[in-house]
Amino acid sequence: MARERVKRSKIKRKGGAINGKTLVGWKEGAAYGWCMAMWGGVCWVLGIIFAILGIAADAANGTLGLESASWFLLAIAMFVASIPCYLGWAVGVYVDIKEAKK
């Protein structure tokens, strides 16, 4: 409980709102946009790698650790996992643009 109180008081001093809509201020949230884009890129590249492994496993009529359908499912999962990351990046860019216009 004591740690939560300390964290909440620090957030209030930084401009974030505990009782408002966000836990972190807009400026701090926009600064993490690059991190979201990086993880989106990692998920996207993993999806491409898994799709290539699925195609190779299907062409070889064998398994490369998993069946080809499993590699394709992993690729789809990685592509879907990259969507929220890129959305987080887009929100960060949007917030930066709004801040620049002010």
Number of domains in the chain: 2
Q: CA dihedral defined by 32, 33, 34, 35, rounded to 10 degrees?
A: 50
Model's pTM, two decimal places?
0.62
Q: What is the mean pLDDT of residues 76-97?
A: 86
b/e code 47-78 from CB counts within 10 Å (16+ = b):
beebbebbeebeeeeeeeeeebebbbebbeeb
Instruction: Indicate the SS3 state at residue 72.
Output: helix
Single-letter amino acid code for the residue at 65: G
41 and 19 in a single domain? The answer is: no
Q: Which range of residues forms the domain containing residue 4?
A: 1-25
Q: What is the mean pLDDT of residues 14-32?
A: 52
74 and 46 in a single domain? The answer is: yes
Q: How confident is the model at residue 60 (pLDDT cuts 50, 70, 90)?
A: confident
74 has a pLDDT exceeding 80: yes
